C-alpha cells in the first residue's frame, strides 16, 4: 500500500480537529444543559462521546500507519508523535464531558441547587481553551498556546472558589450533600478538562519549538 506522507498528515489533522470540534461542542451542550436542566441535551452529550471514542481509535491507527510505512522525520515525526498524545488528551476531555452530563442527569429532579456562577465561568473558559489549544497545536502558534496555559490557572482559581461556595451551602442542610458533591464533581471534571487542554498546549509548544515545557513552574 502506497501512501503520501503529507496527505496522511492532513488526514490526521482533520480527524484530530473533528474530535476537537466534537468535544468542544459537547462542553457547549453541557453548559446549556446545566443552565436549563435539559436532560435531553445531556443524554446527547453522552451519546456523542462514542463518536469521540471511535475517532480516537482512527487517529491511533493513522499514526501507527504513518510510523510503519513512512518513517517520518523531524517536524513530521514530532507532529505524529504529539498527535498520539493529543489524541489521548482529547479522548479524556470527551470522557469528562460525558461524566458532567451524567451528573446533570442525576441533578435533573433537584430544585434546591446552589447558585454556582463559577461553574458556568469555568465551563466557558474551558470550552474556549479546548477550541484554542487544538488550533495552537495545528497552526504551531506558541503565543496562543501560552495564553491558553495561563487560562488554566484561572480555571484552577475558579474551582477553589467553587469549593468555597459549595461548603457553606452544604453546611446549611445535610440533605444537600449529594447535590453539593455533584457540583464539585462537575467542577473537578471541568478543571481536569482545563488540565488536558494545557497538556495539548504544551505539546503545541514542543511541536513548534522542539522545547519541552512540561513540569515547569515558570508559566
Question: Binding of other proteins at residue 5 (CB under 8 A)?
Answer: no
Question: Binding of other proteins at residue 124 (CB under 8 A)?
Answer: yes
Please compute Rg for the chain using Cα positions: 19
User: Which is closer to other proteins, CB of 124 or CB of 154?
Assistant: 124
Question: Binding of other proteins at residue 144 (CB under 8 A)?
Answer: yes
Question: Binding of other proteins at residue 83 (CB under 8 A)?
Answer: no
Closest CA to 116 of 184, 171, 175, 176: 184
Question: Binding of other proteins at residue 194 (CB under 8 A)?
Answer: no
C-alpha cell at 13: 489533522
Question: Binding of other proteins at residue 76 (CB under 8 A)?
Answer: no
Question: Binding of other proteins at residue 116 (CB under 8 A)?
Answer: no
Question: Binding of other proteins at residue 17 (CB under 8 A)?
Answer: yes
Closest CA to 3 of 58, 60, 68, 59: 68
Among positions 5, 18, 46, 146, the unique one binding other proteins when judged by CB under 8 A: 18
DSSP H or E run through 87:
helix 74-107
User: Which is closer to other proteins, CB of 71 or CB of 108?
Assistant: 108
Residue 64 and residue 59: Cα distance in Å, rounded?
9
CB 62 within 8 A of CB 29: no
Amino acid at each position: 500500500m502506497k501512501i503520501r506522507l503529507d496527505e496522511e498528515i492532513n488526514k490526521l489533522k482533520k480527524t484530530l480537529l473533528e474530535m476537537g470540534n466534537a468535544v468542544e461542542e459537547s462542553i457547549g451542550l453541557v453548559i446549556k444543559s446545566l443552565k436549563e436542566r435539559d436532560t435531553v441535551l445531556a443524554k446527547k452529550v453522552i451519546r456523542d462521546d462514542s463518536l469521540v471514542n471511535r475517532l480516537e481509535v482512527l487517529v491511533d491507527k493513522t499514526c501507527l500507519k504513518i510510523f510503519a510505512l513512512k518513517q517520518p522525520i523531524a517536524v513530521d515525526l514530532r507532529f505524529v508523535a504529539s498527535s498520539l498524545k493529543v489524541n489521548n488528551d482529547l479522548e479524556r476531555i470527551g470522557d469528562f464531558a460525558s461524566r458532567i452530563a451524567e451528573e446533570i442527569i442525576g441533578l435533573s429532579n433537584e430544585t434546591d441547587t446552589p447558585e454556582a456562577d463559577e461553574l458556568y465561568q469555568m465551563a466557558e473558559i474551558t470550552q474556549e481553551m479546548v477550541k484554542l489549544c487544538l488550533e495552537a497545536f495545528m497552526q504551531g502558534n506558541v503565543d496562543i498556546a501560552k495564553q491558553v496555559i495561563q487560562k488554566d490557572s484561572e480555571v484552577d482559581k475558579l474551582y477553589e472558589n467553587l469549593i468555597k461556595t459549595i461548603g457553606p451551602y452544604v453546611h446549611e442542610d445535610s440533605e444537600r450533600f449529594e447535590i453539593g458533591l455533584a457540583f464539585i464533581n462537575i467542577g473537578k471534571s471541568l478543571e481536569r478538562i482545563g488540565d488536558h487542554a494545557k497538556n495539548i498546549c504544551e505539546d503545541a509548544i514542543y511541536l513548534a519549538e522542539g522545547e519541552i515545557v512540561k513540569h515547569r513552574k515558570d508559566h
